[in-house]
Amino acid sequence: MEFLVLSNAQRAKQCEGFFRTPSYWITNLPTSEAKEQSAKTETTFPTHCLYHGAISGLREYGRILELGVVSSQIHIDCFGPIRSDVEKDWFFQRLSETGVRYGGVLEHRDMLKQVAGGRYHWGILFYTQNEENHRLCAPMKLYEFLQFGIPVLVTPNPPLLEVVHRFGCGLVWDRETPEQMAEKILSADWTFFQERARKAYEVLRK
């Protein structure tokens, strides 16, 4: 016997009458919302983040390590010079306890290949609030991330806040605990932020 296989009860009754064929109604097919959520999950877990810059207290590298400690779903690649032996020893001691990987120092053109490679979901831009030059900096790395559709994770420094708030192209780590920030990252609609990052670059490059 032939059957019509459908996932909608009303449509099933209509088709039965039209085709004069009994229908078999399947109720557990994934909805469009479920498919979108599945695609989002496959895209964002684990979440891959990229930091490139000096490993220095002025760049808040302690926050990077804290994120790597509190969530196994956040993987962070770090590239850049380490400014002092004291920071080097502490950094590598903590590194083994985290989901952070240190890749050494790369030439700028090689670093751009990392940014453009499509592997990363978030770019990290953490800067201290306690030193004016860093508090007010607007690094070129911000625009490099946005150029390749990579939304950013930033500290609340005025130039970074201005771009993130204007375009909605990233998340701000202000007073949240590492656990709260990790949850903020993992629960974010990454595809939305990716699109906002691309649009931000289109506007800013003009």
Distance CA 163, CA 129 (A): 17
pLDDT of res. 176: 95
Q: Sorting pLDDT into bands at 50, 70 and 90, what band is 5?
A: very low
Least confident piece of the model among 38-42, 52-56, 83-87, 185-189: 38-42
Contacts of 77 (CB under 8 A, 6+ apart): 48, 49, 50, 51, 100, 101, 103, 114, 120
Average pLDDT of the chain? 82
pLDDT in tens, 63-88: 999 999 999 999 999 999 998 888 89
Q: Is 80 left (phi over 0), alpha (psi -120 to 50) or beta?
A: left
Q: What is the mean pLDDT of residues 134-141?
A: 82
Strands of the sheet containing 74-79, edge to edge, are 100-102, 74-79, 47-52, 122-125, 152-154, 170-172
Q: How far is CA 76 from CA 9, 73, 102, 117, 139, in A?
A: 48, 10, 9, 15, 20
Could you tell me which residue, 63 or 134, shows the higher pLDDT? 63
